[in-house]
Structure 1
Amino acid sequence: MVDVPRFGTDSFSVGLSLNYAHKPLVLGVERATGEFQTLRVLIEHQLLGQLDLAASLCNCGVFSLSLPIALVERGDSSNGSSSSPRSWSPWATSAVRNIPGEESSIAGTIPLRGVGAREPRLGMLLRLYGQPDTTPFSASAGGYLWLPLRRMLEGTAPHTSDEEFRVMPRLVLAGYSHPLQWSLTGSFLYRPEARQGLHPALGGDRAGSELGLGARVSYTDKQRGFSLGPEAQLMTVVIPRDQAFKPFYTSLEVLLGLQFKVGQTLQVGLAAGAGLMRQLGTPAFRFMVRVSSTSTLTPQSEGHQAPAGLPREKSGVSLSVPVAVPLPMSIPLLVEVSPEAPADGASEPETSQDESPGDRDHDTVTDAMDACPDQPGAPSMESSRSGCPGLVAVKNGMLLLQRPITFARNTDVVLDESFPVLQAIADALRASPWLQKIRIEGHTDSQGPTQVNNSLSIRRAHSVMRWLQKDGIHPARMEAAGHGPSRPIAVNDSEQGRAANRRVDIVIIDPPAARADDERS
């Protein structure tokens, strides 16, 4: 119901869901005391299936298509006798006595027999600020468009589709601050006024434009791929105005949701809850299960190719052209592209990002864009921080970490305290599209068997790579390596030295010229 947007870089996801609703459509009357008395359960059991397809592009937009289908519907038809007027209370019988027509024809809705299609839905969501699942605050905007099957296909049941298009613009605010993840949604569903087919004297059968509010908060453990928390969705009719905010035209559903990962790409979700306020179509109880898988649109290969939109090396032609590299949030950046060799075969010295004209601190951020031109830092999407010292700095062909990435003892589980460092690495890579590939290198101290340390170091490197991939860094821009205790930077005869050797290094390998020594004069 209430989603947390997830933006990635050129990824594609497929999801299948089952949605069981108990008593989503009932016929009843309201007593003078405000109590609702059920006269007939039109749809008692409903099971819907849905196929969801979504593509996330450039870490800034998600485009989706949802194809729902009614698998099972069970309840009393208008000709049923299980809830005969003879079984109604005297008060209910009196309330409907003056309705024209046969008492058994009060309702015009018949549950579907067999499988029936429902309205396809197109969706779009654009990221405006922040990252919903990694930063404390983010804002996204988009909407849904439902296609009216009743206009396209004859014989479509009236309770499965409108006769006109429905549009719902929405705003999503979301954020993540370990271990809590939250989301707030606001929406306006525009739909022409319609009736469900129930008798107008009973009321509650009219559908119109609705205002929606949703909230969700969950405990989220990203390393274990686990999330648990409640969510609530409120919808109320605001047009036509004479029905606005009335109880029978307002719904409130509360659910408890659980999500967990299976393997590297499979996500499973479960949710169950109740309808506390019920308008047309709101069930007394709902249970949902969903399975989804995400993969990259660009397959990995041994021969690395630059991400889409980046300049590629050219051979045989002497070329040195300033290329404007498009970045999210429309931050202008000028990168000098040089070929591997000129046409006449004459050798030329390689040009590195560290040697770019107008980059005094050699951190790949030109002085014109550098908020701290005399202090090495890392590129940032925020102009006021770009090139300034932080948790990550570009130096000596590496992303130098000002704080180590730490793990639970003898495991590859990243500790929560290192999440800000990983986030800083991801932010720097997003702001540096010319850094086409990095190698994440794991290292250990000399304690324990070498074979065990070698295995632990590569597993830790892969753990970091998975974290960055979840944060939207394209997998083709990363590779992992483990060196165990073979490359110490300190002696292993003290705890301080061993702690220094237990580390993760981020090495820039493409472009190789970026590994220039900025200490030379």
Structure 2
Amino acid sequence: MLGGATAHGQESTALDRFDPAPAGDAFFTVPSAGVPGHLQAAGAAAISYAHQPLSLRRESDEEALSWVSRQLVLHALASVELFERVKVDLDLPLLLEQGGTSGELGGRSVVAPSGASVGDLRVGARVALLAQEGGYPAAALRLSVWLPTAGGRAFAGADSARFAPALVVGGDHTRWLWSVTVGGRLSPRSENSLTGSETFGGAAAALRFGGLQVGPEILVAASTGSLADGQVRQGFSAEALLGARYTVGPVTFGAGGGPGLGRTPGTPAFRVFGAISVAGELLGGGKADGALAHGSAGRPEEGKGRADEQRKGSTGGEGAASAGQDQDGDGVMDADDVCPTQVGVDQPPRRGCPPDQDGDGIADADDRCPTEAGVASTEEARHGCPPDSDGDGIVDALDACPAERGEATQDPQTNGCPRAVRVESSQIVILQQVNFATGKADILQESFDVLEQVARALGEHPEIARVAVDGHTDAQGAEKPNLDLSRRRALSVVTWLIEHGVDARRLEARGFGPRRPIADNATAGGRAKNRRVEFQIRRRTTEGAAGWRDGPVED
């Protein structure tokens, strides 16, 4: 890793690259993008073990010397959120133990470090710029300053102050969350450091399963600068970590690990870490009236409800939990939990209840249409979906005929309406004629489809107790034969409907011959319109099938 650079004086390096996110943030190493509360405090402790963070190697051969073979560092963290805009945090690292191999490589002698030491104190602040709005993420600016409290002692810290401005962007959703940061670590006086100034980036994402959160975090850094002997410092490092945390009330436990990649000093062969954190309100803290949340989610409509989840910190704490009982362990105290025996999310207006994206009162786990507000249904496939009264697959809000099964069309006036049959106030209107053999009462097969739709409509409308099937003819020929033909044709339709499942008590046949024309019999087109079958609704009932009674119906 060190190439041919001299080892003398280069122990004034903050070798540990585990830079934990502020206490109360959502990930271990990548900060969150918002500030969800006011006077919300969090504290955490994180411990990190790095294996072989620094080795010397001659470029001419494979000979190597593990100068620092291990480092064990404890981080004590604290933070407080102010005015839902600013978050201030502290991180005091304590180098508990380190060791390595002393020796000589390429004519250079090195001494392995040992013993415990205080590291460089980190002071940080984050200012929320944008709140999350739906799919648009939250954004914030962050500045970290490391004070040389270690005094440049062996690999515990640098001998001068360091600065790290960064931009953070992230989002928090019902089941998952993410955060990305980019920035630079500036070391103005770093000639004796093995690392010096760097550009860096990080990305993290996680899924939630009740109180459990699991996800990867990736950190990258690239350094360039000059060493004391005039050589150019260049290097790239990365760490791929997988972490998990579990929240019980206001306390969160976390652990993770992963390999290091690259040859920059401080990049370990692998790292493991653990953390515990707690969060709560300071006196008078909470969410200010009328203010918008600026947490990782930062969504104003969710406000304080999401704020608590956003405080699951790097070191993982659950935020703003008040004292008291939390039976289901979802972080919402029973006094505020609308569903105290079900693991849920802290999201108004049903805090502590299972997620309900569309707000229809049916939890997403049971909702067959979780993104569309719907209604409860005994039909499992439609539970939580928008109502579809006639069951034709077109929701009532878009169905021009919500009480009748129909077909989807591009025309809002006919969408969801039957193709050839429509039930109106006093009629079952057919849009296609019932055709018969010429001069006879035999129904042509081409008309079976429209009659099937009439039978289906009667099945879907049990409130229709009596329908008169009326036969009509044009005025050609003598009236008596026409009158007889119209009655026989009406009777043929009634017989067909009864044979296809319609109760006989609901039907009667009438023939009017040419007596009720609807068009001019002097033209061929008018006579075609007059030759017709109509379905007149003569009685309705609220009793359903019990109201289908035989007997005459008064006009």
TM-score (norm. length: structure 1)? 0.50
TM-score (norm. length: structure 2)? 0.47
Pair member with larger Rg: 2
